[in-house]
Amino acid sequence: MANLADNVRLNADVNKLRFANICYKHNISALNEGSSVASIGILNEKRIHAVLKEYFEPQSKYHEVPFLGYVADVKNASGIIEIQTGSLYPLKAKLSSFLEESNVTLVHPVAAVKYLSWIDPVTGDISPRRKSPKKNPVVSSLVDLYYIRQFLAQPRLMIRLVLLEVDEYRYKNGWSRDGKRGSTRYERIPLDLIDIIPLDVPADYLYFLPDTLKNSNEFTVRDFSEATKISRHDAYMVLTTMTAAGAIKKEKRRGNVDVYTVIA
Q: What is the pLDDT of residue 31?
A: 54
Q: Per CATH, which fold does 201-264 belong to?
A: Arc Repressor Mutant, subunit A (1.10.10)
One-letter amino acid for residue 164 of the chain: L
Distances (CA, A) of 113 to 26, 126, 132, 163, 193: 20, 20, 8, 8, 10
Length in residues, the chain: 264
Render pLDDT for 188-208 as a digit per residue (tens, 0 to 9).
Answer: 889 999 999 999 999 999 999
One-letter amino acid for residue 166 of the chain: V
Task: Give the rounded distance of the alpha carbon of 147 from its chain centre.
Answer: 13
Q: What is the pLDDT of residue 56?
A: 96
Q: Which helix (H) or strand (E) holds 8?
A: helix 4-33
Q: What is the pLDDT of residue 1?
A: 41
Q: What is the pLDDT of residue 14?
A: 83
DSSP 201-233: SGGGGGGGS-HHHHSSS-B-HHHHHHHHT--HH
Q: Which helix (H) or strand (E) holds 173?
A: none
DSSP 38-90: HHHHHHTTHHHHHHHHHHH---GGGEEEEETTEEEEEEETTEEEEE--S-SGG
Render pLDDT for 110-168 as a digit per residue (tens, 0 to 9).
Answer: 999 999 999 888 888 888 889 988 878 889 899 999 999 999 999 999 999 999 999 98
Contact 129, 117 (CB under 8 A): yes
pLDDT at 218 over 50: yes
- Per-residue confidence at 8, pLDDT binned at 50, 70, 90? very low
- Per-residue confidence at 40, pLDDT binned at 50, 70, 90? very low
Q: What is the pLDDT of residue 41?
A: 37
pTM of the model: 0.85
pLDDT at 256 over 90: no
Pairing of strands 104-119, 79-83: parallel
DSSP 125-154: -BPPPEE-----HHHHHHHHHGGGGGGTT-
Distances (CA, A) of 9 to 4, 163, 217: 9, 17, 35
**In which residue ranges of the chain is CATH 1.10.10.10 found?**
201-264
Phi and psi torsions of 161, nearest 5°: -90, 115
